[in-house]
Structure 1
Amino acid sequence: MVSFILSVLALIVGYFLYSKVVERIFGIDDKRITPAYSKSDGLDYTPMGWIKASLIQLLNIAGLGPIFGAILGALYGPVAFIWIVLGCLFAGAVHDYFSGMLSVRHGGEQFPTLVGRYLGKYVKSVINVISLILMILVAAAFTAGPAQLVEQLTPLSYSASLLLIFVYFVLAAILPINKLIGKIYPIFGLVLIIMAVSIGFALFFMDHSIPNITLENLHPGEVPIWPLLMVTISCGAISGFHSTQSPILARTLKKESDGRKVFFGAMVAEGIIALIWAAAGMTFFGGPDGLQGALANGGAAGVVNEISKTTLGQFGGILAILGVIILPITTGDTALRSSRMILVELLSKFGKFDTKMKTILMTVPVVIPTYLLTQMDYSFLWRYVGWTNQVVATVMLWTAAMFLLQNKKFHWICSIPALFMTAVTGSYIFYAPEGFHLSYGTSMICGSIIFVSVLAWFIYQLKRNKNTNIPLDNVA
């Protein structure tokens, strides 16, 4: 119990202290006109207050990610608390802040374009493809589950449920951000917070106490902590999907100082939500063995439903249904909206179109493959989301590191977590079943080779920029 409380406090204190350090290193200037005003178009570029923007950002980046991922991560035991706290403060929140603020600085640019600015056009080309694949996979994975639950709870068939969800997706992707997302997301964001806080209080009254932090691996399946825990718990620690979502809100900030509250703050809130659900998973079923049995019977959704109903009664049951149906849908819709924005930015050089026509035309190419993927097994989709997600996060951290390095700023706040995530993703893809599925030892050797290669590239960048005296920051 003490470890859990200290972990929550560490995130809260970390927000008030470390976020200001990161903000100071980035160097905000509230005299700059933000894209919300300089490019106001009534669609994506629309000024919005920081409280509403923070709630929308939280729902964009969270959904069921910090719930399902944290529950699966709870199988490893309380070592998950360490990863959530350190990952959230020093990697995830920094990642989210720079993905948002670099977009603000460069006129609301999307993630792949930012990557191109600081890592080159070849990396941009690759990340354009990976980003679109990630968002389509996320949207598909977070659509199939809710549609199945709607089928169970209502007279609607699975196909009819999917159709209704996709009608909403299209509307969310093409309507002005303040017409639909801006009105309902703050409400659903509060639902997510109330759900987590309610479970958090219930933890103090469970039959089993929350275990204290230990480095011991308690996973019943004897699955190694490194690097699997860092991919299992992404939302709540660090998630590359966030870098595709932050530019949505970057186009709405009224001033640069709002970025710390919107981007860094939403990530810390997500980290606290992940801590609560990880603790609930470790505690409610009496330990990792009991949790594994519950997951085998009803999956993560079943675990959420059982914990919510048992601890909070009918109110918990309502929250669970809202959570399992609504929250993943609100992740899927902004994934498609962001995909549409990336495609518009990518293809704008080939010609100018009417804004409304361009919006509709760029929505179709992402909606169709997403719908087709919903016909596949959810678990199959989710396996590929994990690794793709963390590759995108790693690239974003390197993008931020190069921005700081080129501008003679303290780049270590980004380059150290970038190196760490390089090691994670480099070793994971060789070991994971959805990757090369090699032995653990061989995977660690291959991952080390990738890490050393990237480290050598970074040392070269350090030497090259050491002799550059003029900052290279080309702000829009």
Structure 2
Amino acid sequence: MLFFIACVGLLILGYFTYGVFVERVFGPDPDRKTPCWTREDGCDYINMPTWKVFFIQLLDIAGLGPIFGPILGALYGPQALLWVVLGSIFAGGVHDYFSGMLSVRKGGESIPEVVGDFMGSTARQVLRVFSVILLLLVGVVFILGPAKLLSNMTGLNVQLLVFFIFCYYFVATILPIDKIIGGLYPIFGALLLFMTFGVLGGLIFNGYELLPNLDFTANVHPNDLPIWPLLFITLSCGAISGFHSTQSPLMARCMRNERNGRFVFYGSMIAEGVIALIWVTAGVSFYESSDAMQAVIAAGSPSAVVNEICNTLLGTFGGFLAILGVVILPITSGDTAFRSTRLILAESFKVDQAKIGKRLLIAIPLFVLAFFVSRADFAIIWRYFGWSNQMLSMMVLWSAAIYLAQRGKLHWIATVPAVFMTAVDAAFILQAQIGFGLDATLSNIASVVIAGGALVAFLRYVHPVSPIGGKGTATGTL
């Protein structure tokens, strides 16, 4: 119990200490007009209250990731808790803050355009393709996941539920952001809070010992899967997730003032970290062993774990509301995943989105493609999502490091996590069956060499750039 409280306390402390430090390094300008003032279009660029922007950002990023990821991470043991705390404060919070604030400085542009400005036109083109594929996978994962949960709750056919969720996503993708997303998300936020703290309260009041195993030296995964690099790929949302960088520009278009950036972007990452802590704790505390939890996952999916925990701890009605909250989480990320995809494609092909006809021109073929992707096996989709997700987080962190280095600022706050994630991604793809399938020891050594090479190249070739007018930045616009 005390260790869990300490973890939550560290996350909160991180927001008020390291989050403030990151903010000062970036240097927000409260007198500078944000995109919702300069590019208001009644659809995607809309001025919204800060509390609402925060809730939308939190629900955008808190899909199935901070629930399914922590459940799967809990199979390794309490090490998952350490990754959530350290990852959220020093990696995820930095990643989310810079992906949001750099988008603000670039007029609300999507992440491929932001990355392209700092890593070149080739990176821009790669990220355009990469982001669309990632968001498509996210959208599909966040259709299948909630559909299965709803099917367990209602007995309705999964494919019928997939159809209804598809319909909702389509409407939410093309309508102005304040109509559905801005209107429903405060209600969904209340469900999120009930679900999260309901599970925690259920563990306490039902007499479960919180975190009975605090042996950080033992890997208790029932399949003997290695912590490095798999834990850092599996448990992404709740620590650091590239998907978040595709969502931050949505709120960069609606945020009223740059001084709100820490609360909206860094703060929502910390809040997601708390959600992840609760679900890691639930997984470790509810089941007697990792083998017992693995048996439930193998019989269904992580959604079966959610179903069992919620109904056992909160009873039939409470369990229904809690699971409904878990259903809402992925849906509130799936709708914005498709919305982000529409905007990335629109920016890539220079298609104005103020008129609904232009939005339909992109949305209709996008959803047709998503339907065919949804026919693939869920486990395969999730596996590819994990790696591509962390590849994107790595590139965003390197972009933030380049941005800071070019301006003579303390780039290490982004460089260190960028190097770490480079090693994680390299190790995974070198040894994973979806990659090169190399020996673990060889791939781990190679990953360190690759990450070290990236750092050397960065330090050698990225230098401060003389300002070209305007507030002493390298471009005069950032």
Aligned AA (2:264) = V
**Deviates further, 283-292 or 122-131:** 283-292
Task: Confirm or deny that 1:178 pairs with 2:173.
Answer: no
1:475 and 1:172 mapped to 2: Cα distance? 32
Secondary structure of residue in 2 paired with 1:257: helix
Structure 1 pair 150–293 and aligned structure 2 pair: CA distance change class (3 A): closer
Query: Which of residues 274, 279, 295 is equivalent to 2:276?
Result: 274
Secondary structure of residue in 1 paired with 2:349: helix
* Contact in 1 for aligned 2:194/2:322 (Cα 8 Å): no
The alpha carbon displacement at 1:170 in A equals 1.1
Matches of residues 89-238 of structure 1 in structure 2 within 5 Å? 89-151=89-151, 153-154=153-154, 156-205=156-205, 206-210=207-211, 211-212=213-214, 214-238=216-240
Residues 212-266 of structure 1: per-residue CA shift (max 9 Å, x gap): 3623222122211111110111000000000000000000001111111111111
Aligned AA (1:365) = P
Question: Which residue does 2:88 correspond to in 1?
Answer: 88
Question: Which residue does 1:8 correspond to in 2?
Answer: 8
Task: Confirm or deny that 1:306 pairs with 2:308.
Answer: yes
The alpha carbon displacement at 1:150 in A equals 3.9
Query: Which of residues 254, 259, 262 is equivalent to 1:252?
Result: 254
Task: Confirm or deny that 1:291 pairs with 2:317.
Answer: no
Aligned AA (1:344) = A
1:148 and 1:289 mapped to 2: Cα distance? 23
Structure 1 pair 318–404 and aligned structure 2 pair: CA distance change class (3 A): same
Aligned AA (2:195) = M
Secondary structure of residue in 2 paired with 1:435: coil
Question: Which residue does 1:17 correspond to in 2?
Answer: 17
Question: Which residue does 1:397 correspond to in 2?
Answer: 397
**Deviates further, 117-126 or 439-448:** 439-448
The alpha carbon displacement at 1:322 in A equals 0.9
* Contact in 1 for aligned 2:397/2:415 (Cα 8 Å): yes
* Contact in 1 for aligned 2:306/2:323 (Cα 8 Å): no
Residues 356-407 of structure 1: per-residue CA shift (max 9 Å, x gap): 2221112123212211111111111100000000000000001111111111
The alpha carbon displacement at 1:161 in A equals 2.2
Aligned AA (2:231) = L
The alpha carbon displacement at 1:352 in A equals 5.7
* Contact in 2 for aligned 1:406/1:473 (Cα 8 Å): no
Residues 427-458 of structure 1: per-residue CA shift (max 9 Å, x gap): 11111222222221222133233223312211
Question: Which residue does 2:348 correspond to in 1?
Answer: 346
Aligned AA (2:240) = I
1:467 and 1:24 mapped to 2: Cα distance? 21
1:145 and 1:353 mapped to 2: Cα distance? 30
**Deviates further, 399-408 or 314-323:** 314-323
1:370 and 1:353 mapped to 2: Cα distance? 20
Q: Give the number of aligned pairs.
A: 473
Task: Confirm or deny that 1:62 pairs with 2:62.
Answer: yes
1:216 and 1:352 mapped to 2: Cα distance? 54
The alpha carbon displacement at 1:155 in A equals 6.9
The alpha carbon displacement at 1:25 in A equals 0.8
2:215 and 2:332 mapped to 1: Cα distance? 33
Q: Any unmatched runs of 5+ in structure 1? A: none
**Deviates further, 223-232 or 381-390:** 223-232
**Deviates further, 436-445 or 84-93:** 436-445
Matches of residues 379-418 of structure 1 in structure 2 within 5 Å? 379-418=379-418
1:66 and 1:370 mapped to 2: Cα distance? 23
Secondary structure of residue in 2 paired with 1:76: coil
Residues 394-426 of structure 1: per-residue CA shift (max 9 Å, x gap): 000011111111111111110111011011101
* Contact in 1 for aligned 2:93/2:265 (Cα 8 Å): yes
Secondary structure of residue in 1 paired with 2:47: coil
Question: Which residue does 2:51 correspond to in 1?
Answer: 51
Secondary structure of residue in 2 paired with 1:269: helix
Q: Percent identity?
A: 48
1:465 and 1:59 mapped to 2: Cα distance? 37
2:281 and 2:209 mapped to 1: Cα distance? 11
Structure 1 pair 56–455 and aligned structure 2 pair: CA distance change class (3 A): same
Matches of residues 307-456 of structure 1 in structure 2 within 5 Å? 307-348=309-350, 355-456=355-456
* Contact in 1 for aligned 2:99/2:249 (Cα 8 Å): yes
2:128 and 2:246 mapped to 1: Cα distance? 11
The alpha carbon displacement at 1:318 in A equals 1.4
1:53 and 1:39 mapped to 2: Cα distance? 17
* Contact in 2 for aligned 1:2/1:212 (Cα 8 Å): no
* Contact in 1 for aligned 2:313/2:319 (Cα 8 Å): no
**Deviates further, 280-289 or 354-363:** 354-363
The alpha carbon displacement at 1:203 in A equals 2.9
Residues 184-232 of structure 1: per-residue CA shift (max 9 Å, x gap): 1121122112211122223334333413362322212221111111011
1:220 and 1:475 mapped to 2: Cα distance? 52
Question: Which residue does 1:465 correspond to in 2?
Answer: 464
Aligned AA (1:273) = I
1:465 and 1:258 mapped to 2: Cα distance? 27
What is the RMSD of the two structures over their aligned residues, measured on CA atoms?
A: 1.9
* Contact in 1 for aligned 2:230/2:428 (Cα 8 Å): yes
**Deviates further, 329-338 or 243-252:** 329-338
Q: TM-score, normalised by structure 1?
A: 0.95
Secondary structure of residue in 2 paired with 1:186: helix
* Contact in 1 for aligned 2:100/2:248 (Cα 8 Å): yes
Q: TM-score, normalised by structure 2?
A: 0.95
The alpha carbon displacement at 1:319 in A equals 2.6
